[in-house]
Amino acid sequence: MGSRRPRVWLLRVLSTIGLLIVLLGSHPQVSVAAFADPEGGYDVAIVEQLRVKVPADGQQAWLEAERGSWEPWLRQQDGFLGRDLFWDQEREEGLLLIRWASREQWKAIAPQEVEAVQEQFEQLARSATGQAAGNPFPLVQEGELQILRP
């Protein structure tokens, strides 16, 4: 079991890199991706995909707002496995890939809870950017990527 752990970690890293290449490549509307584990085990069932507008001068404010709101809240959610944040310099967009053990666990979260955390995020973001109202980092696109199991 101990020898499998580094390999699982490496597979997760390679899967995330491969997914990022697909998402940022010439196919922005990709909705399904396959992650293969040679031993047939899958830790991730679905990946929530979010793209948000993040100007170059707002990167740190975005990351601080994420750390102060979504990050601690997500860690408490059933089925949450982790997330990766990327920044696309050319588009000035952030890409969030949030891994869930099941779609059911992800979708079981009450919309009111999500709205409350989003409001907290926006307050932190406004404070960090000096923006008086609104969301300094608006959502550009959201979607989900399903793991295909052969």
Percent with pLDDT over 70 in the chain: 69
Residues 107-127: pLDDT tens digits? 999 999 999 999 999 999 999
Q: Which residue has the higher pLDDT, 35 or 129?
A: 129
The total number of structural domains that make up the chain: 1
Instruction: CATH number of the domain at 43, please.
Output: 3.30.70.100
> What residue numbers bound the domain in which 56 lies?
4-147
What are the CA-CA distances from residue 26 to residues 20, 39, 87, 109, 112 (Å)?
11, 31, 17, 33, 35
Is pTM beyond 0.75? Reply is no
The DSSP letter of residue 45 is S
